[in-house]
Amino acid sequence: MIGELPYAHGGPPLSGRMRAEPEDFLVDELIGFSATGAGEHWLVHIEKRAANTAWALRRLASFAGVAERELGYAGMKDRHAVARQYFSVPAKKGVALDWSSFSDPDVRILSALRHARKIQRGALQGNRFVLTIRDVAGDRAAAGQVLAAIAAAGVPNYFGEQRFGRGGANVDKARALFAGRRFERNERSILLSAARSEIFNAVLAARVEAATWDQAQAGDVFQLDGRSAIFGPELIDAALRERVARGEIHPTGPLWGRGTLRSADAVAELETAIGAAHSDLAAGVEAAGMEQERRALRIRPGALTSAWLADDVLRVEFSLPAGAYATSTLRELLKTSA
């Protein structure tokens, strides 16, 4: 469980209540491109409240008169939130859609412009979050110090609880899958991801405990900040350590799969030992045909700001790259309840 994983900045000095209302968790998807203005699709920007991405997709497909599988979107967005995200919707020949006539109590159209391509999964730069925490208690001075540490050093890039399902049940289901239990194809994909995430979080937790999660170690593989490109292992010298310190590059951990770990030396020894400690999960994802990949151990929230709206109400704003979890940033600051 993510709540049991070690902290990088001494543990949360605050406690509070999250998501008292959907408006307390605002998410803006950052896709990094604009509508082309012409083409065989609509680029539809929506705002959804207390509705999941699948629900919004069904409503848009029904309105446009197309199959759900023909729509595209970059990523899933939380149900218990107000989230703005983009969909590509095929434009049927000879059908003039009036998006202003779309009506749904939980989904609002912000814009709809013609676009040349279908949006592919993962095709986004990141997300911007505005989080309001209520009933806050704790040491405000210490909270300021933790926020400064987060801004300067970043946070461990743990997979959040959303990846593991209620009570972490997805990992147990993954073990059942590997033992022969049958699951639907979509759920199978979720369970494979949960298994890999469990191993990654275990590796990251070990490096947080050793205070090496944000330090270059012998045998490390590195990821360029804001990009998917990785390199290494290579000689750890002063110049490379300085690049890590500046946040230009980040050490990585394994997303388990077939093949040989790219890491070497002490890093490979640690990752191999943790893979062996989770041998059922490691063997299961290998047998499923997943390949070895890497994920940054550290994330640095962008444009991190905070403000006290009342004595017991705190608002925190920041942006994260694609694939990072707001809960992994917030957990360093406070323990929350739903």
pLDDT at 79: 84
Known catalytic residue at 78: yes
Catalytic residue, candidates 24, 78, 214, 220: 78
Domain of 101, in residue numbers: 33-115
Using the Cα atoms of residue 53, residue 55, residue 58 and residue 62 in order, give the sign of their dihedral.
negative
CATH number, residue 264: 3.30.2340.10
309 inside domain: no
Tokens 């020894």: give the residue.
Answer: 269
Q: CB of 115 within 8 A of CB of 39?
A: yes
105 inside domain: yes
Q: Where are the alpha helices (DSSP H) in 114-224?
A: 140-153, 169-178, 185-209
Structure tokens at 281: 């999960």
3-class DSSP assignment, residue 177: helix
Stronger pLDDT, 323 or 337, i.e. the higher one: 323
**Is a pLDDT exceeding 60 seen at residue 133?**
yes
208 inside domain: yes
pTM of the predicted structure, to 2 decimals:
0.90
Number of compact structural domains in the chain? 2
Q: How does pLDDT run across 246-273, given as a tens digit for each residue?
A: 999 999 999 999 999 999 999 999 999 9
pLDDT at 338: 56
- Mean pLDDT, rounded, for 47-68: 94
HSE, CB side, 13 Å, CA atoms: give it for residue 23.
Answer: 0
100 inside domain: yes
pLDDT at 76: 84
Q: Where are the beta strands (DSSP E) in 60-151?
A: 72-73, 82-90, 107-115, 126-138
**Is a pLDDT exceeding 90 seen at residue 157?**
yes
CATH number, residue 43: 3.30.2350.20
